[in-house]
Chain A
Amino acid sequence: MGLRGWLLRQAAVRPRVLVACCPYGTRARLLVEAELDRRGWPVASAPAEAGLLVVCGAPGAEMRQAVQGVWEAMVEPRALVEPASAVSREEVAAALNDAVETLARGGTPRTGPPPAPPAADMDLPGGVPMAGRGPDRDGLTLDRLHVPLGPVLADWPAGLVVDTVLQGDVIQEAVVRALPPGEHGTPFWAEPGRGAAARLDGLGRLLGVAGWPWAAREARRLRDRLLAVADGGGGRGGEVAGEFRGFARRVRGSVVLRCMLRGVGVVGGGGPERARGDVLDRAYRWVEEAEDAIGGPGRPGVPDRLPDRLPDRWPDRLPDGLLGGLLAGADLAQARLIVASVDPDLERVAVRRG
């Protein structure tokens, strides 16, 4: 037990963290992400990889079920942290410290009996429904898998689920829906002065999905610093604006990014104005809008408190028809880019609905 205990303590110093965000949990998520970045804890992209599950905000019924599934898929040693949407920075830090101690002691044990082995059945081998078959886009008969994307997925909008029918890695059908929230609150990004930070939050997800770790991290850091300035918490707007210019130059200058995002998820002239063009157009538009709000080159007089006149991105309803249309026929990589570039904010959508 001595060696195992020592290894457990070593491993607990930097757990891998899977973050699940519920609608209205954005504030908690930002605090958690900033704290993880400060501590240098790596973020996991799958349950099997993670040792610590962080659920930000209050889950609704279906989200709770999904979180439960993820928790069961995680292997021991594991720990769970559930910061409420109104959590403070100190509470987040304390909860993460507690998680380290739990993990060092061997993690949260499993409660209840282990899942029963599935019964043998011809139609349901192992209790898993067989994938049906159907013709694919090349006229081949391939397995059709029903794979839901979300709600617990790295760099994924909170509360969104896309039920897909997959053949290979190509989406044949996609149904986009918003999970009912577990609580009601004020949409985080609707507060004045947060428009530029909201664009950077979206860019962080998009660049993460585009597989550019440096830029994704930089976008999140700038987002946090902008929020600190906007809330009067610290930092000078001029400094952030300077760093943002460097970031914007790198994003616009990347030839690989341009080649990869060009021509993906094209929304024609009939679509909503803010979604027009391809994924690259939408990404550049966010950079430009954030630049306008912060004060880019040739925009004199950068104030310390940032003016922010940015309009909402998705003011009225979930763009489910638009997204569903774009996703059908896309492969998974393109689909993730499309979702990240449309990036519906379900906190606002849910408010308008309710």
Chain B
Amino acid sequence: MGEAVALVLALGVLAWGAAALDARLGGAGGWGAPFREAARLVVQRRRRTPLADTVLVRVGVVGLPLAALLAAVVLPVGGAAVLDLGVGVVWFNAMEVCVWGAVWLVGWGVNSAYPLVGGYRFVAQGLAYELPHMFALISVALGAGSLRMADVVAAQRGVWFAVWMPVAFAVYLVSAAAMAFWGPFGQAVGRDVAGGVPAELAGADRLVFLAGRYALLVVVGAAAVPLFLGGGAGPWLPGWAWAGIKTAAVVAGLVLAGHRVPVVRVDRFVAFAWVVLIPLTLAQLLVVAIVVLP
């Protein structure tokens, strides 16, 4: 129970930090900016588009933060995970895939052209990043000889996976940004389609959607720590502090990339993912398999 509370608190603080850094880089205020935006959305009325499928939209809006939270429960935050599953890596991946459904439901349900286009874009993007992402995760599981997150962390006592599986790590970071439809992979919420999927959301709906997106960004960033960066391992400080510092660094890097890199269009990303990323991750998988052969 205590771990669950700690997890939610840590998620909230880090998501707040990510939103504040995002606002600061965009020149729109500092640490108070997420609070002001939340206040604005709390007092703002909700909005209904003609013939919207309200139930589907609500399911999608609530599904986004829920999927992020459920993906987070298998992450060992310093010590033990809230849910120490034997198939933690698979669970994490499955929860991320629920994000596809949530985003698509919002984009389709509001019955408006731009959100629909945003929904199409995200589903197509899923086709691009999901396979490389899964091969990167399989490399990790193969290297550790286990699908349990705690075993993955334990397997990195000597050398971090990021060091001897650099390709898998790089591909993971790309797919992490793509999964949170963030920055260069944020075409689903692109400025060119008036904000895409959440374009028609206002008030509480928008607040939950945006909070869910920042939470998702933090969760996919946080998962890089046990998967590739040795979990809570580090000198002097306790495990949770190291996990927090590493997570903050990964998330800050993702936020910064969002401002400094142009958007990658989905049609070109699909080609790049299938022609370049998948062969690369397969080669990585082969190398890992040869190294861990008994």
Q: A16 → chain B, closest Cβ, in Å?
A: 8
For B190, the chain A residues whose CB sits under 8 A away are: 211, 333
Q: B185 → chain A, closest Cβ, in Å?
A: 10
Partner of A14, one of B28, B45, B199, B268: B28
In the complex, which residue of chain B has the Cβ closest to the Cβ of A217?
A: B27
A333 touches B192 (CB 8 A): yes
B265 touches A333 (CB 8 A): yes
For A331, the chain B residues whose CB sits under 8 A away are: 267
A75 touches B43 (CB 8 A): no
Q: A173 → chain B, closest Cβ, in Å?
A: 15
Interface size on B, residues (CB 8 A): 52
Cα distance, A334 to B266, chains bound together (Å): 11
Partner of B184, one of A16, A169, A256, A333: A256
B264 touches A256 (CB 8 A): yes
In the complex, which residue of chain A has the Cβ closest to the Cβ of B183?
A: A211
Contact residues of A between 210 and 257, Cβ < 8 Å to B: 210-215, 217, 254, 256-257
Contact residues of B between 252 and 275, Cβ < 8 Å to A: 258-268
Q: Does B10 reach chain A (CB closer than 8 Å)?
A: no
Q: Does A155 reach chain B (CB closer than 8 Å)?
A: yes
Partner of A48, one of B26, B36, B186, B199: B199
A249-280 vs B, Cβ < 8 Å mask (1 yes, 0 no)? 00000101101100000000000000000000
Cα distance, A290 to B279, chains bound together (Å): 42
Cα distance, A37 to B44, chains bound together (Å): 24
A75 touches B195 (CB 8 A): no
Q: Which one of B76-84, B88-96, B114-122, B143-151 is at the interface?
A: B114-122
Q: Contacts A169-B117, A333-B265: A51 and B195 contacting too (C-beta < 8 A)?
A: no
B44 touches A211 (CB 8 A): no
B187 touches A49 (CB 8 A): no
Contact residues of A between 190 and 208, Cβ < 8 Å to B: 207-208
Q: Does A332 reach chain B (CB closer than 8 Å)?
A: yes
Q: Which one of B67-75, B201-209, B225-233 is at the interface?
A: B201-209
Q: Does A66 reach chain B (CB closer than 8 Å)?
A: no
B264 touches A11 (CB 8 A): no
For B241, the chain A residues whose CB sits under 8 A away are: none
Q: Does A349 reach chain B (CB closer than 8 Å)?
A: no
For B259, the chain A residues whose CB sits under 8 A away are: 213-214
A147 touches B50 (CB 8 A): no
Q: Contacts A76-B44, A169-B120: A10 and B36 contacting too (C-beta < 8 A)?
A: yes
B43 touches A211 (CB 8 A): no
For B265, the chain A residues whose CB sits under 8 A away are: 260, 333-334
A45 touches B195 (CB 8 A): yes
A208 touches B191 (CB 8 A): yes
Q: Contacts A51-B40, A211-B263: A147 and B27 contacting too (C-beta < 8 A)?
A: no
A128 touches B50 (CB 8 A): yes
Q: Contacts A4-B43, A147-B113: A48 and B200 contacting too (C-beta < 8 A)?
A: yes
Cα distance, A169 to B115, chains bound together (Å): 11
For A256, the chain B residues whose CB sits under 8 A away are: 184, 261-262, 264
Cα distance, A336 to B51, chains bound together (Å): 28
Q: Does B42 reach chain A (CB closer than 8 Å)?
A: yes
Contact residues of A between 60 and 116, Cβ < 8 Å to B: 73, 75-77
Cα distance, A276 to B291, chains bound together (Å): 53
B7-41 vs A, Cβ < 8 Å mask (1 yes, 0 no)? 00000000000000001011111000101110110
Q: Contacts A46-B194, A166-B113: A207 and B45 contacting too (C-beta < 8 A)?
A: no
B28 touches A211 (CB 8 A): no
B201 touches A48 (CB 8 A): yes
A260 touches B36 (CB 8 A): no
Q: Does B193 reach chain A (CB closer than 8 Å)?
A: yes
Residue among B42, B202, B262 with max Cβ neighbours from chain A (10 Å): B262
Cα distance, A217 to B260, chains bound together (Å): 11
B202 touches A48 (CB 8 A): yes
For B157, the chain A residues whose CB sits under 8 A away are: none
In the complex, which residue of chain A has the Cβ closest to the Cβ of B30?
A: A40
Cα distance, A46 to B192, chains bound together (Å): 10
For A254, the chain B residues whose CB sits under 8 A away are: 261-262
For B201, the chain A residues whose CB sits under 8 A away are: 48
Cα distance, A128 to B111, chains bound together (Å): 11
A10-30 vs B, Cβ < 8 Å mask (1 yes, 0 no)? 110111100000000000000
Q: Contacts A7-B39, A166-B113: A128 and B51 contacting too (C-beta < 8 A)?
A: yes
Q: Contacts A49-B206, A209-B191, A209-B192: A14 and B29 contacting too (C-beta < 8 A)?
A: yes
Q: Contacts A75-B203, A332-B193: A14 and B51 contacting too (C-beta < 8 A)?
A: no
A38-60 vs B, Cβ < 8 Å mask (1 yes, 0 no)? 00111011101101000000000
Partner of B200, one of A41, A46, A217, A336: A46
Cα distance, A11 to B203, chains bound together (Å): 12
Q: Could you list 19 examples of A-B contacts with CB < 8 Å?
A: A14-B29, A42-B23, A45-B194, A49-B195, A49-B206, A75-B47, A77-B43, A153-B194, A166-B113, A211-B186, A211-B191, A213-B25, A215-B262, A256-B264, A260-B265, A260-B268, A332-B117, A332-B193, A333-B265
Taking Cβ atoms with an 8 Å cutoff, the residues of B that contact A are: 23, 25-29, 33, 35-37, 39-40, 42-47, 50-51, 113-114, 117, 120-121, 184, 186-187, 190-195, 198-203, 206, 258-268
Taking Cβ atoms with an 8 Å cutoff, the residues of A that contact B are: 4, 7-8, 10-11, 13-16, 37, 40-42, 44-46, 48-49, 51, 73, 75-77, 118, 125-128, 145, 147, 153-155, 166, 168-169, 207-215, 217, 254, 256-257, 259-260, 331-334, 336-337
Query: What are the nearest 8 A-B pairs in CB distance?
Result: A211-B263, A11-B40, A212-B262, A336-B192, A46-B194, A46-B199, A126-B51, A42-B28
